[in-house]
Amino acid sequence: MWDLWPEDLEWQPMSRRLRTVWVLRSLLNVLILAVVAAVPLTIWLGWDGLLWALGGYVVLAGLRVLTVTRLVATWGYAEREEDLLVRHGLLTRRLSIVPYGRIQLIDLSAGPIERMFGLTTVQVRTAALGSTTEVPGLDPPVASALRDRLAVRAAEVREGL
């Protein structure tokens, strides 16, 4: 869908470490699931239950890692003259277009795992409620540079509500 855009766009990829972070996070989530599932399985099947849980974990984690890897590859952003484009999504594909002139707030944030790997998320808000646009997993210098560029452009082309 994204290559249908009438003009040529230079999509900027996210940091390479974003994949690592998200893979780790999904492994952790699946692990929690496996531990929770292991208890009834063990009660039901005896010690074989643990093996089942482990097997389930490996299979699920493998699938999850595959999808997350592909998901990360779909993220991208492009800066144009007047607006910022962000694309993402594997099953449901999304393309958000935020004009610089309508930007109200720009947030930088980093969660604990993201911080460990030195990543930052840029969030852009407009006056429309529920239209927060996120650019996750940028290297901190790239993120703050993006923030500064956005802020400067937002101040230059101020448009109303």
Partner 1 sequence: MSDAHPHTGPTGEEPAPPPAPQPFGPEVSQPSAALPTGVPRQRLHPLTPLLESFRFFAAVLAAAGIQVFTSRNFVFPIILAVVAAVAGGVASLIALQYRGFVIWGRELHIFGGVFTRSHRTVPLDRLQSVDLARPLRARLFGLAQLNIEVAGGDGTDARLAYLKVDRALGLRAELLAIAGRPVTPTAAPVAAAGSEAPVEEAAGPAPMVPPIPVRKLALASLLEALPVQVTALVLLGTAFAVTGAIFGFSTVATTLWVGFFAPALLGYLQSTVSAVNKFLRNCRFRLARDGGSLLIERGLTDTSHETVPVDRVTAVCFDEPVLWRSRGWRRVEVWTAAVAQQGGAGLARSTTMLPVGEPDQVALVAAEAVPELASRFEVRLPPRRARWRMPLRWKKTGAILEEQVFVVRNGLLVNTYTALPYARIQSVRVVQGPLQRLQGLASVYAMTAGGVGNVATARHREAHEAVAMAAELRRRADAAAALETPRLA
Interface with partner 1 by CB under 8 A: which residues?
Answer: 1-2, 4-7, 82-83, 89, 91-99, 101-102, 126-131, 133, 158-161
Instruction: Tell me whether residue 48 or residue 82 sits nearer to partner 1 (CB atom).
Output: 82
CB of 124 to partner 1, least distance (A): 9
Residue with tokens 């409620």, as numbered in its chain = 129
Q: Residue 77 burial (CB < 10 Å; 0-12/13-18/19+)? A: buried
Instruction: Tell me whether residue 28 or residue 105 sits nearer to partner 1 (CB atom).
Output: 105
Dihedral of CA atoms 34, 115, 97, 16 in degrees, nearest 10, equals -80
Instruction: Tell me whether residue 35 or residue 128 sits nearer to partner 1 (CB atom).
Output: 128
CB of 17 to partner 1, least distance (A): 27
Instruction: Tell me whether residue 36 or residue 66 sits nearer to partner 1 (CB atom).
Output: 66
Return left, alpha or beta for 46; rule: phi > 0 is left, psi -120 to 50 is alpha, else beta. left
Q: How many residues does the chain have?
A: 161
Quote the CA–CA distance of 110 and 119 in Å, as a whole number.
7
CB of 155 to partner 1, least distance (A): 11
User: Hey, CA dihedral for 156, 159, 160, 161, is it positive or negative?
Assistant: negative
CB of 87 to partner 1, least distance (A): 9
CB of 66 to partner 1, least distance (A): 17
Instruction: Tell me whether residue 43 or residue 129 sits nearer to partner 1 (CB atom).
Output: 129
Three-state DSSP at 80 gives coil
Partners of 120 in beta bridges: 138
